[in-house]
Amino acid sequence: MIRVQREDFDLGAELRALSDGDHGIGGVASFVGLVRDMAAGEKIGAMTLEHYPGMTEKMLGRIEAEALERWPLNASLIIHRYGRLEPGDQIVLVATASPHREAALESCHFLIDWLKTKAPFWKLEDTPDGGQWVDARDSDDEAAARWSKRAD
Amino acid sequence: MIRVQREDFDLGAELRALSDGDHGIGGVASFVGLVRDMAAGEKIGAMTLEHYPGMTEKMLGRIEAEALERWPLNASLIIHRYGRLEPGDQIVLVATASPHREAALESCHFLIDWLKTKAPFWKLEDTPDGGQWVDARDSDDEAAARWSKRAD
Amino acid sequence: MKLLYFAWLKTKTGVSEETVSPPAEVQTVADLLTWLKRRGPGFEEALADMEALRVAVNQEYAEMTDPVTAGDEVALFPPVTGG
Amino acid sequence: MKLLYFAWLKTKTGVSEETVSPPAEVQTVADLLTWLKRRGPGFEEALADMEALRVAVNQEYAEMTDPVTAGDEVALFPPVTGG
């Protein structure tokens, strides 16, 4: 399941719902991204996440479908927020449930790595010098590329 | 932090507490192990987790210390339950918080892989034929061995 | 053709969304960008570094050689930074 | 010397915890296991497959050649299956 929303989410409730009632699930892996108050050594106050409505849902849905094809998953969830966020706020949740530990852990890692390079979101950070669009990081491309190689 | 306990835990509250108030944290990775109702193709009703009080805490503490040494973590948590558990029940929680996504994801994966081969717990499954001690899996040894190689 | 601009592409061009009718010689993504650059200094600056630019046609990532046609939705944006 | 038995080591020997005084020739983990095997059929069966056995001395994983002394806590158990 994918959700793109302005509102915060209840992490515990979301994770519980993912495995609730399915006793074939042996493990739930999750990653939550939070707004940091330090970016590249500079203090930030808050940020605004812009996205491309329509394409965002399309890309997240495709990334999730890819994970469901590669790993034996009973359930998966991607929630990504947009709009104004303060340090400490939750930005993104990726969670996967599988009979097997490795499948849950790997697919969760895959989902967030791919999301970071494919999902059309852009961060505008408030800095003492005004709003700054965050630059993409090469390390994110490299992290995502790992999963392409493994598929060979 | 490590905890060995008979009682269940509140996943959402535990994860929230891990990052609460620390705005240097950019990501929280977690893995929750659940009791499955199928083991090696056979339906199980419930299981009992036995452990070695004293050594359990020692090993979990050492595994956590190893993770804190290898990755830049702001916080980590291992909770492992013992006693009688039903299908769907939470067995174990491993969670790590870091400024960096990769550090959180990798250290979480490392912790559960190592715990699986080092922490002195044993599962006794209720089966239609009575109580069965679960056999260790070679795949768990292999998963843990990966992390030794990487340290070379 | 509907054009969308995101992040600093929007800031630099001063446009978030517009409908345009490029001339017939605009056949590909590359053609479209070349044509857009001529629309003024804001566009020229925003589109100066093609390497720093991503293009989606009808909400799919597109290459410079991919075709564009009158009814398409074309979005211009920098590499993504969500998550 | 305090001995602890877990999982099927406990089931097969019928003992979960005991205090023993092995003879002076018991110097290592291997010596101890050899001595324990002679204590009856339950012990012989439980300790038959050394490969399937893990030993901890004073709550640290130990090898067959590691020393054991009178004041030690020695635990015998199968490979762990928690998590």
Express each pLDDT in B100-131 by its tens digit: 999 999 999 999 999 999 999 999 998 888 89
C67 three-state secondary structure: strand
Interface of D with B in 54-83 (CB under 8 A): 56, 59-61, 75, 77-83
Minimal Cα distance from A35: which residue of C?
A: C83
Residues in chain A with CB shorter than 8 Å from the CB of C82 are 49, 51, 80, 91-92, 115-116, 119-123
B117 part of contact set with chain D, CB < 8 Å? yes
* pLDDT surpassing 50 at residue D2: yes
Query: What pLDDT was estimated at residue A20?
Result: 95
Residue-by-residue DSSP string for B1-33: -EEEESS---HHHHHHHHHTT-TT--EEEEEEE
Q: Sort out which chain B residues have CB atoms less than 8 A from A88's CB and list them.
A: 19, 21, 23
Question: Using one digit for the tens of pLDDT, what is the confidence trace for D46-58?
Answer: 999 888 899 999 9
Structure tokens at D2: 């305090």
Two structure tokens written together for C63: 């290459």
Q: Which residue has the higher pLDDT, B63 or D52?
A: B63
Q: Chain C interface, mutation test: which of A52, A109, A114, most C Cβ atoms within 10 Å?
A: A52
Asked if A81 reaches chain C (Cβ–Cβ under 8 Å), the answer is no
Across the interface, of A116, A133, A135, the residue whose CB is closest to C82 is: A116
Q: In sequence order, what are the residues at sequence separation of 6 or more whose Cβ sits closer than 8 angstroms to the Cβ of residue A95?
A: A14, A15, A18, A28, A29, A30, A31, A76, A77, A108
Please give the pLDDT value at position B152. Answer: 44
Q: Would you state the pLDDT for residue A112?
A: 98
Any chain B CB within 8 A of the CB of D12? no
What is the dihedral sign for C-alpha B119, B121, B127, B130?
A: positive
Mean pLDDT of chain B: 93
**Measured between CB atoms, does A63 come within 8 Å of chain C?**
no
Q: What ipTM is given for this predicted complex?
A: 0.93
Residue of B52, B113, B124 to mutate, interface with D, max D Cβ within 10 Å: B52
CB-defined contacts B:D, below 8 A: 68
The pLDDT of D5-29, averaged and rounded, is: 96
Out of D11, D56, D82, the one facing B121 most closely (by C-beta) is D82
Query: C62: which strand partners?
Result: C55
Statement: residue B151 has pLDDT above 50:
no
pLDDT digits (tens, 9 = 90+) for C7-62: 999 999 999 999 999 999 999 999 999 999 999 999 999 999 888 899 999 999 99
Question: Is A152's pLDDT higher than 60?
Answer: no
Taking CA–CA distances from D56, the nearest residue in chain B reads B55
pLDDT of residue A151: 47
Angle at B92 between CA B89 and CA B98, to 5 degrees: 135
Nearest to B120 among D8, D11, D80 (CB): D80
pLDDT band at A40 (very low <50, low <70, confident <90, very high): low
| pLDDT at position D55 | 98
Mutate which: B105, B117, B142, B150, vs A, most A CBs within 10 A: B105
Partner residue opposite D83 with nearest CB, options B54, B58, B115: B115
Q: CB–CB of D81/B122 below 8 Å?
A: yes
- The side-by-side arrangement of strands in the sheet containing D54-57 is D17-19, D2-5, D73-77, D54-57, D60-62
Is the CB of residue B73 less than 8 Å away from at least one CB of chain D? Answer: no
In the predicted model, what is the mean pLDDT of residues B84-95?
A: 97
Indicate the average pLDDT of chain A. Answer: 93
Minimal CA separation from B125 to chain D, in Å? 11
pLDDT at D11: 93
Least confident interval from A118-122, B110-114, B126-130, D19-23:
B126-130
Does A7 have pLDDT greater than 50?
yes
Whether D and C touch, i.e. at least 3 CB pairs below 8 A, reads as no
pLDDT band at B34 (very low <50, low <70, confident <90, very high): very high
Q: Among B15, B24, B87, whose Cβ lies nearest the Cβ of A37?
A: B24
Question: CB distance from A112 to chain C under 8 Å?
Answer: yes
Percent of chain B scored above 70 by pLDDT?
Answer: 95
Tokens of C39: 């629309």
Cβ–Cβ < 8 Å for A96, A104: yes
B112 contacts on D by Cβ (under 8 Å): 83
User: Which residues in chain B are contacts of A18 at CB distance < 8 A?
Assistant: none
Chains C, A in contact, 3 or more Cβ pairs below 8 Å? yes
